[in-house]
Amino acid sequence: MSAPKVQLLLTGNELMTGDIVDSNSAMMAQVLKDIGLGINRKVTVADDLALLVSEITYMASTSDILIINGGLGPTVDDLTAQALALAIEEELSQHPQALTHLTNWCQQRGAELNGPNLKQAILPKNCQIIANKNGSAVGFSVRYNQCDIYCTPGVPHELETMLIEQIIPAISADLPSELITDVTRLQIFGLGESSLQKIINEQLPQWPTTIDLGFRAGMPLLEVKLTTNTKKGLALKSIWQKKLANVLGDHLIAEIQEKPKSLAEHLLIQLQQHNLKVTTAESCTGGLIASKLTKVSGSSTNFEAGFVTYSNEMKTAMLDVPSDLLEQYGAVSEQVVVAMARGSLVKSAADITIAVSGIAGPNGGTEEKPVGTVWLAWGSINNIKTQCLLLPYKRVKFQEFVAAIGLDLLRRYQQNITSIPNYIIERSFTEQ
Amino acid sequence: MSAPKVQLLLTGNELMTGDIVDSNSAMMAQVLKDIGLGINRKVTVADDLALLVSEITYMASTSDILIINGGLGPTVDDLTAQALALAIEEELSQHPQALTHLTNWCQQRGAELNGPNLKQAILPKNCQIIANKNGSAVGFSVRYNQCDIYCTPGVPHELETMLIEQIIPAISADLPSELITDVTRLQIFGLGESSLQKIINEQLPQWPTTIDLGFRAGMPLLEVKLTTNTKKGLALKSIWQKKLANVLGDHLIAEIQEKPKSLAEHLLIQLQQHNLKVTTAESCTGGLIASKLTKVSGSSTNFEAGFVTYSNEMKTAMLDVPSDLLEQYGAVSEQVVVAMARGSLVKSAADITIAVSGIAGPNGGTEEKPVGTVWLAWGSINNIKTQCLLLPYKRVKFQEFVAAIGLDLLRRYQQNITSIPNYIIERSFTEQ
């Protein structure tokens, strides 16, 4: 028995106008691949009832599984339920389970259940509800013409939770048992996609064809996925995974079990284990590192304060950076960033710190210190390390990278890793 | 005469596996929009000859313009020329102009014109060549069944140059002269999609059908788009846009000209005009507000420092919040958030501030102050305003909303807006 044919139907005017780039279908492809399924065909249309009805009718007749994404919202241009009802010749009616969900959703938020919201409970009769933890729109599914049709919300995190927790388990329960799939995902920081591909080509040229290697460039972590669909691949996997881990060295952050963790989470877990507190002294990242740490729930155990010292005066006022250092060396200098690090440790009584001062651009660069220059200082009061980097990114991406590198340097410090990360080898900068 | 129907056919295994996100079609939509054309329907398939032939056949019969993207490369899985030839029942033959291009291309690079490259010159007989400045694959077009079919390369910058320099001029030369397109985008903060739909339904029930209303839920700003393709719509637009603006009130942030601005950008522009400095005192948002401000280039003119005071001790150490206030009222209280606001103004010498203290969760809630409670204080030293809200969002979304609301409250303060925003009406909270 062969794998079922899967098709996707995406709906939304915003997908047709180029206002947004569709990332949902790539995500759906990734999670379907985890259970050994590929997507056969994908159609995207605007919010147009006649077009939707004809697409659904045709796609349901040429696939085993049809996933419809988008068009579940409360506004008049959300047409999925109506189109599906017409396509499968079923009436629309108020679904009690969907109504309960909407009522609870509004109640929890102290909001009135209004007409537009109520529309989200009007669904094809006899459909199965797919719960939505994260939004007002429930998903729903019907079986029609030997095709399982799943209707899902367009909001990415609502879709993702629904897929992983409900749709994928439902689909895989129906899969023929001889289909096997084994997926391992690795989190990497400090190696780009093309560097990594080159390293693998050179150092692991015999990589077995039965283990599919996929890359997913995230910001800032890169994800590498080893997928195998054969017994032979499964047998070979652990040895090749070990070889790959060897080659990655300290750039390998973790093997992802369930939900991938951020750099800040990895760091906070270590700090928790050692009962240590961290602080931040930020100039060019303007609070981004502190904000990444405090996104993590429970971070208050290991983070008490952060200093956003954007101007020279405030570096002195908040962190006691001597003003003569600022005058003599400038704000973007080893001397100042070390003083910021020291000041933040003294003022916060934290155990370790990360201090950054750089030129995010687009203005403010000079010949000696061009846009993209950043000084970092990190460590504990008796052991402060420093590094200057030149990062070839525009403002927002520059800030994201400095924040990520800052967190990674603390992770390495905390784990006593002495090898030099790739981003220092590649981006190390000596002022002109 | 109405606008021609445009469809896109994208081909490539990498588009189906989720390994890459398709950005080409958004780019195509943008450049087509510039000449008043929308994309009607978009189909994506893997590199499969039979599937490609059937898609091309069907799409050519249901559109006036069909753009095929991808599948022009030298490898065996590049099948566009072959599929098109089969679909339009035309022979394949070596195209002299394509051969010249390939010969020159290889010569300039000192490379041998090999078999796989030569395949790129085998095209449907009588097709028109579209030159490719940036790559080895020429594009080509044919007219079949009243449909203009353009075949384009998958590499984004090759596609873009070809589109802008050749395909778009060719298409627009054929367009009826009476076609018009007018798009206006409005930025809104503080009204959700369903509230907005309800308001429009109730207060503007006669909304003209000639003006298309589109919503795009962003985080945190909502975008509303008015599009019209008719002279009647254009004539009606300014009056209905004014009516809509009236209904939106102070929730309308701006009419988007080119690139939409963030809440922080809007605020910083106002501060610049009045030569004022802003600071931040953040507990539950942990640096997020400061980071949003400093993302904006040039923000250093109006932002010198931010205080991330996560623990009680650090609220006292950094902002002089009296410890008896913390003991008596708790960190999430009007008294403490006002003291934070004052402290931040005194310590930074800024003109205005936003201070926030709340319970982001998932832990730390009590009966009187459940998870989602937040106290905000904002304004200048002699005029500090306060508000308590209960926001029904999980940690990260809670932080995003508090940050956005903080920035919006400063915008309203700065503009002397006295009307009460919807989020205060809906989410105002009095401790139990």
Q: Judge: B363–A17 Cβ closer than 8 Å, yes or no.
A: no
A286–B contact, CB cutoff 8 A: yes
In angstroms, the separation between the Cα of residue A97 and the nearest Cα of chain B is 20
Omega within 30 of 0 (cis) for the link into B220: yes
Within a domain: B352: yes
User: What's the 3-state SS for chain B?
Assistant: CCCCCEEEEEECHHHHCCCCCCCHHHHHHHHHHHCCCCCCEEEEECCCHHHHHHHHHHHHHCCCEEEEECCCCCCCCCCHHHHHHHHCCCCEEECHHHHHHHHHHHHHCCCCCCHHHHHHHEEECCCEEECCCCCCCCEEEEEECCEEEEEECCCHHHHHHHHHHHHHHHHHHCCCCCCCCEEEEEEECCCCHHHHHHHHHHHCCCCCCCCEEEEEECCCCEEEEEEECCHHHHHHHHHHHHHHHHHHHHHEEEEECCCCCCHHHHHHHHHHHHCCCEEEEECCCCCHHHHHHHCCCCHHHCEEEEEEECCHHHHHHHHCCCHHHHHHHCCCCHHHHHHHHHHHHHHHCCCEEEEEEECCCCCCCCCCCCCCEEEEEEEECCEEEEEEEECCCCHHHHHHHHHHHHHHHHHHHHCCCCCCCHHHHHHECCCC
User: For position B362, what pLDDT does the model report?
Assistant: 93
- Binned at pLDDT 50, 70 and 90, residue B173 comes out as confident
- Residues A211 and A283 occupy one common structural domain: no
What span, in angstroms and rounded, lies between the C-alpha atoms of B39 and A15?
Answer: 9
In a 3-state reduction of DSSP, which class is residue A21?
coil
pLDDT band at B178 (very low <50, low <70, confident <90, very high): low
Residue B432 lies in a domain: no
For residue B18, pLDDT beyond 90: no
Kindly tell me the sign of the dihedral angle through the C-alpha atoms of B331, B337, B341, B346.
Answer: negative
Between B136 and A268, whose confidence is greater? A268
Cβ separation B286–A286 shorter than 8 A: no
Q: Are residues A200 and A268 in the same domain?
A: no
Look up tokens 């640096």; give the residue.
B287
- Kindly tell me the number of DSSP H helices and DSSP E strands found in chain A: 17, 17
Do the Cβ atoms of A105 and A88 come closer than 8 Å?
A: no
Q: Do B243 and B284 share a domain, yes or no?
A: no
For residues B40 and B8, is the Cβ–Cβ distance under 8 A?
A: no
Find the CATH number of the domain harbouring A228: 3.30.70.2860
Q: Is residue B1 part of a domain?
A: no
The whole-chain average pLDDT of chain B stands at 91
Residue A141 lies in a domain: yes
Given B108, B143, B173, which residue is the final one in a domain? B173
* Burial label, B368 (beta-carbon count in 10 A; 0-12, 13-18, 19+): exposed
Cis peptide before A421 (omega within 30 of 0): no
Residue of chain A whose alpha carbon sits nearest to that of B44:
A42
Q: Are A298 and B363 within 8 A, CB to CB?
A: yes
Q: Are residue A131 and residue A27 in the same domain, yes or no?
A: yes
Divide the 432 residues of chain A into consecutive groups of 10 and give the mean pLDDT of each group: 85 85 90 87 93 95 95 90 96 94 88 86 95 92 95 94 93 77 87 79 90 76 85 88 93 82 94 97 98 96 97 97 97 98 97 98 92 97 97 92 97 93 90 56
Last residue of a domain, one of A256, A291, A315: A256
Chain centroid offset of residue A16 CA? 24
**Do A157 and A213 fall within a single domain?**
no
Contacts with A, B 369-428, CB within 8 Å = 390, 392, 395-396, 399, 426-427
What DSSP designation does A167 have? I
Q: What is the pLDDT of residue A72?
A: 93
Q: How many domains does chain B have?
A: 3
Chain B: closest CA distance from residue A418 (Å): 30
Contact A142/A126 with Cβ under 8 angstroms? yes
Residues B10 and B158 grouped into a single domain: yes
Name the residue type at position A153. P
Is there a contact between B392 and A109 if contact means CB atoms under 8 Å apart? yes
Retrieve residue A383's tokens. Answer: 């052991």
Query: Which CATH number belongs to the domain containing residue A336 in this structure?
Result: 3.90.950.20
Interface touch B25/A14, C-beta < 8 Å: no
Please check whether residue A1 lies inside any domain of the structure.
no
- Place B398 in a pLDDT band, splitting at 50, 70 and 90: very high
Asked if residue A371 and residue A244 are part of one domain, the reply reads no
Q: Given an 8 Å threshold on Cβ–Cβ distance, is B305 in contact with A300?
A: no
* A432 within some domain: no
Report the DSSP beta bridge partners of residue A384: A379
- CA A193 from chain centre, in angstroms, equals 16
The interface predicted TM-score of the complex, written ipTM, equals 0.76
User: Are the Cβ atoms of A291 and B291 closer than 8 angstroms?
Assistant: yes
Average pLDDT over residues B88-99: 94
Does residue B213 form part of some domain?
Answer: yes
CB pairs under 8 A between A and B: 256
Q: What is the CA radius of gyration of chain B?
A: 29
What residues are paired with A183 via a beta bridge?
A227
Give the residue carrying structure tokens 């490539």.
B12
- Residue A39 within a domain: yes
Q: How far is A427 from chain B (nearest CA, A)?
A: 22
Please report the beta strands in A117-197, taking only residues with DSSP state E, as ranges in sequence order.
122-124, 128-130, 139-144, 147-152, 182-188
Interface of B with A in 204-263 (CB under 8 A): 213-217, 225
Q: Does B273 touch chain A (CB under 8 A)?
A: no
- Among A193, A310, A356, A407, which would you mutate to test the B interface (most chain B Cβ atoms within 10 Å of its Cβ)? A310
Q: A42 to chain B: nearest residue by CA?
A: B44
> Distances in Å between the alpha carbon of B355 and those of A248, A323, B284, B341?
44, 28, 10, 5
What are the beta bridge partners of residue B228? B182
> Cβ of A300 under 8 Å from any chain B Cβ?
yes
Q: Coil, helix or strand for A309?
A: strand
> Which residue type occupies A357?
S
What residues in B contact A77, CB-CB < 8 Å?
A: 213-215
Q: Which residues contact A40 (CB under 8 A, 6 or more apart)?
A: A5, A6, A7, A63, B16, B45, B46, B51
Using a CB–CB cutoff of 8 Å, tell me whether A360 touches chain B. Answer: yes
Asked which of B173, B192, B220 is the last residue of a domain, the reply is B173
Nearest-Cα residue of chain A relative to residue B295 = A396
CB-based contact B308 A308, cutoff 8 Å: yes
CATH number of the domain bearing residue B169: 3.40.980.10
Q: How far apart are CA B54 and CA B142, in angstroms?
A: 17
Looking at the fold, whether A248 and A351 belong to one and the same domain comes out as: no
Q: Are residues B147 and B220 in the same domain?
A: no
Q: In what order do the strands lie in the sheet with B222-228?
A: B212-217, B222-228, B182-188, B252-256
Predicted pLDDT of residue B212: 83
Q: Using CA atoms, how far apart are residues A12 and A183, in angstroms rounded to an integer?
A: 32
Q: Verify that B208 and B165 share a domain, yes or no.
A: no
Indicate whether B246 and B274 sit together in one domain.
Answer: no
The pLDDT tens digits of the residues spanning B340-363 come to: 999 999 999 999 999 999 999 999
A184 Cβ contact partners less than 8 Å away, ≥ 6 residues apart: A225, A226, A237, A241, A255
Same domain, B307 and B413: yes
Q: In chain B, which residue's Cα lies nearest the Cα of A135?
A: B393
Q: How far is B21 from chain A (nearest CA, A)?
A: 6
Contact B303, B293 (CB under 8 A): yes
Q: Give contacts of A299 with chain B, Cβ < 8 Å.
A: 286, 310
Of B237 and B386, more confident: B386
Q: Do B29 and A14 touch (CB under 8 A)?
A: no
pLDDT of residue A1: 46
Smallest CA–CA distance, residue B97 to chain A, in Å, is: 33
CB-CB: which of A15, A299, A399 is closest to B295?
A399
Domain that includes residue B219, residue range: 182-256
